[in-house]
């Protein structure tokens, strides 16, 4: 007998059974051009947010000099944004399920644009950091709803293709951000690196309001204020301790106190979410094998790939002696590969299923990372970039099918929450991965060389650090492969229009 719902609580539909081909009550997908218009608007939001990250990173040295601040303080221009957007992704997804994905998504657009204008007007670094935090709020509202909006309008047999195109847009933003940011900063000044977002967000929000249709909402639900507060507190204190541990000292009272606060907030968050009627994070989702496998494998994959993003510039510049502008070009190997492969990967997952294609992608990613363990201390830099292309192929083959499986594992009224989970997995995995990789690499290099600083150590010591960290990244990817291959249910692809024969899952 089904248990009765608590008074005032809207009963949630059951999670779909393993191997189900469709979600009960889910829309069959929009016909005609509407779904492609949605993809255009969503792509504009994703591109703007990811483009901004690259632009700001390139402009950071100029900002530091012109505002007359130390690098430790200037880093908070980036860190404040990352901490805010990571901590608010799940509450933003939950809010969208309650009041409407269109409204929250477009509200994020407008807030991001207004905060960008405040960044450009900043008279001091503290003003700029505060405006970047506001940008993070807008970015969270946008990122938490992109996948949900696409899943809402694309039918299951086209979902992988749409999410693959969206992954290409993400990679295009990461790819073009440093290039566009460098040009804008060099010719117009760092303030225009922020002003460029204002017209983009205003025009895209207006077009989005005219094109996007309202999504189903349940206005009887209540927002979990306590959980929505505890979760960002957990994430912010954890990343704060990891990012500042080397500065404060890992055994210092400040570092230990921040980690203790993070652990206490995490414990309180789990306690609250298991007892509140309508939680920010429905922990029962993790009883769904498809959801758990997609989330865990993606998180492990982002942990692994973040080591490449952080350490390869040091390898190119400090070991091979490649000029900084050339190393920037070499580093686009992964996102450029994803741009071209992700749409193909998404289409293939629609035809042949998720488990096989996602697992092949992780296997290729692990193989590519394993080749980095054997990087030479001399030789042509382009050969190292070729190894990154293999990593990029693996990433592209994995991400689109995995995203499709993630959104296909839950009923329609949870899509906003799952969109927040997806973006949170990416942001938290990258933030944690880069922080841990930096600390580990420095510890190995200093232990081998005894140099006063890791960047001043001889190349042989640096190579020892690279090999150790990339070996760990390979192990993480193999763990993600095990989760994807063994933990994921053997779901078959959705039937294609016209009765085409689907491939094996």
Kindly state the average pLDDT of the residues 387-407.
87
pLDDT of 212 above 60:
yes
Report phi then psi at 377, rounded to 5.
-80, 0
pLDDT at 373: 94
Query: CA 426 to CA 302: how far, in whole Å?
Result: 6
- Model pLDDT, residue 427: 76
Q: Which class for 500: exposed (0-12), middle (13-18), buried (19 or more C-beta within 10 A)? A: exposed
Average pLDDT, stretch 447-471? 88
pLDDT at 257: 94
**Fold of the domain spanning 28-216:** Growth Hormone; Chain: A; (1.20.1250)
CA distance 131 to 462: 37
Higher-confidence residue of 421 and 209: namely 209
Instruction: Give the span between the Cα atoms of 53 and 66, in whole angstroms.
Output: 20
Q: Indicate if the pLDDT at residue 25 is higher than 70.
A: no
Q: How far apart are CA 108 and CA 481, in angstroms?
A: 35
Which pLDDT belongs to residue 200? 83
Report the alpha-carbon distance of residue 31 to residue 51 in Å, rounded. Answer: 31
Interatomic CA distance for residues 97 and 282, integer angstroms: 13
Rounded Cα gap, residues 341 and 391, in angstroms:
12
Is 313's pLDDT higher than 60?
yes
pLDDT for res 481: 94
Span 380-389, mean pLDDT? 90
Of 226-230, 297-301, 476-480, the one with minimum mean pLDDT is 226-230
What local confidence, expressed as pLDDT, does residue 16 receive?
Answer: 38
Return the pLDDT at 128: 92
Measure the CA–CA gap between 478 and 159, rounded to whole angstroms. Answer: 26
For range 15-21, the mean pLDDT: 35
pLDDT for the residue 493: 52
pLDDT, the chain, mean:
79
Tokens of 69: 């601040």
Taking the CA atoms of residue 132, residue 77, residue 62 and residue 176 in that order, the dihedral angle to the nearest 10 degrees is: -70
With 60 as the cut, is the pLDDT of residue 401 above it?
yes
Q: What is the mean pLDDT of residues 240-253?
A: 81
Which candidate, 80, 74, 48, 81, places its Cα nearest to that of 60? 74
Q: Which class is domain 284-495?
A: mainly alpha
Name the token pair of 250: 């890992």
Q: Over range 148-169, report the average pLDDT.
A: 75
- Provide mean pLDDT across the span 349-357: 76
Q: Residue 389: in which H helix or E strand, if any?
A: helix 381-408
The pLDDT-based confidence of 352 (bands split at 50, 70, 90) is confident
Across 84-92, average pLDDT: 80
d(CA 403, CA 163): 7
Sign of the torsion formed by the C-alpha atoms of 120, 124, 130 and 136: positive
- pLDDT given at position 217: 67
> How many whole angstroms separate alpha carbon 245 and alpha carbon 121?
32
**C-beta separation of 301 from 426 below 8 A:** no
Contacts 24+ apart (CB under 8 A), 378-385: 378/320, 379/320, 381/316, 381/320, 381/322, 381/326, 381/327, 381/330, 382/330, 384/312, 384/315, 384/316, 384/320, 384/330, 385/330, 385/333
Both tokens of 189, joined, read 């000044």
Q: Which of 22-26, 150-154, 401-405 is modeled with the greatest confidence?
A: 401-405
**Residue 433 contacts by C-beta under 8 Å, 6 or more apart in sequence?**
302, 303, 304, 305, 306, 307, 310
pTM of the model: 0.69
pLDDT of residue 19: 35
User: Given pLDDT bands bounded at 50, 70 and 90, which one contains residue 505?
Assistant: very low
Query: Are 365 and 395 in contact, with CB atoms under 8 Å apart?
Result: yes
pLDDT in tens, 1-15: 333 333 333 333 333
For the ranges 257-266, 399-408, 425-434, the maximum mean pLDDT occurs at: 257-266
Query: Pick the residue with more confidence: 501 or 68?
Result: 68
Across the range 53-68, mean pLDDT stands at 73
Q: What does the pLDDT read at residue 490?
A: 60
* pLDDT for residue 371 is more than 90: yes
> Angle of helix 381-408 relative to helix 415-449, nearest 10 degrees?
150
pLDDT 10s digits, 272-289: 988 887 777 777 778 888
pLDDT at 464: 94
- How far apart CA 127 and CA 119 sit, in angstroms, is 8
Residues 383, 474 contacting (CB under 8 angstroms) = no
> Residue 229 burial (CB < 10 Å; 0-12/13-18/19+)?
middle
């Amino acid at each position: 007998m089904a248990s009765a719902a608590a008074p005032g609580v809207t009963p949630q539909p059951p999670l779909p059974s393993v191997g189900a081909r469709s979600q009960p009550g889910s829309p069959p997908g929009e016909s005609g051009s509407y779904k492609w218009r949605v993809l255009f608007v969503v792509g504009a939001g994703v591109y703007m947010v990811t483009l901004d990250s690259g632009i700001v990173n390139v402009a950071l040295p100029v900002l530091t000099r012109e505002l007359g601040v130390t690098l430790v303080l200037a880093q908070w221009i980036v860190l404040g944004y990352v901490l805010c957007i990571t901590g608010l992704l799940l509450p933003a997804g939950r809010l969208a399920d309650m009041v409407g994905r269109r409204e929250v998504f477009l509200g994020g657009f407008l807030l991001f644009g207004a905060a960008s204008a405040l960044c450009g007007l900043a008279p001091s670094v503290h003003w700029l950091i505060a405006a970047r935090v506001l940008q993070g709020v807008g970015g969270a509202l946008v990122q938490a709803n992109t996948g949900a909006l696409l899943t809402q309008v694309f039918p299951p047999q086209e979902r992988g293709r749409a999410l693959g195109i969206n992954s290409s847009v993400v990679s295009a933003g990461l790819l073009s951000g440093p290039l566009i940011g460098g040009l804008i900063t060099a010719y117009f000044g760092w303030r225009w690196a922020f002003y460029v977002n204002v017209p983009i967000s205003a025009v895209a929000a207006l077009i989005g309001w005219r094109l996007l249709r309202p999504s189903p909402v349940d206005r009887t639900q209540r927002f979990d204020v306590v959980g929505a507060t505890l979760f960002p507190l957990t994430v912010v204190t954890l990343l704060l301790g990891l990012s500042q541990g080397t500065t404060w000292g890992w055994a210092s009272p400040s570092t230990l106190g921040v980690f203790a606060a993070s652990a206490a907030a995490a414990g309180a968050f789990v306690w609250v979410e298991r007892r509140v009627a309508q939680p920010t994070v429905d922990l029962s989702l993790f009883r769904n094998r498809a959801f758990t496998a997609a989330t865990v494998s993606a998180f492990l994959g982002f942990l692994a790939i973040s080591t490449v993003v952080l350490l390869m510039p040091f390898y190119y510049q400090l070991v091979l002696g490649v000029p900084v502008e050339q190393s920037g070009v070499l580093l686009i190997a992964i996102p450029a590969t994803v741009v071209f492969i992700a749409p193909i990967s998404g289409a293939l997952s629609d035809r042949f299923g998720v488990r096989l294609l996602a697992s092949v992608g992780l296997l290729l990613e692990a193989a590519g990372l394993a080749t980095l363990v054997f990087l030479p201390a001399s030789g042509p830099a382009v050969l190292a970039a070729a190894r990154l292309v293999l990593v990029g192929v693996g990433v592209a083959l994995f991400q689109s099918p995995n995203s499709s499986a993630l959104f296909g594992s839950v009923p329609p009224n949870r899509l906003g929450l799952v969109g927040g989970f997806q973006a949170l997995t990416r942001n938290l995995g990258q933030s944690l991965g880069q922080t841990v990789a930096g600390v580990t690499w420095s510890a190995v290099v200093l232990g081998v060389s005894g140099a006063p600083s890791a960047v001043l150590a001889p190349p042989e010591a640096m190579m020892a650090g690279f090999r150790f960290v990339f070996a760990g990244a390979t192990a993480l990817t193999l763990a993600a492969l095990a989760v994807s291959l063994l933990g994921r249910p053997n779901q078959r692809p959705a039937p294609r229009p016209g009765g085409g024969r689907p491939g094996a899952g």
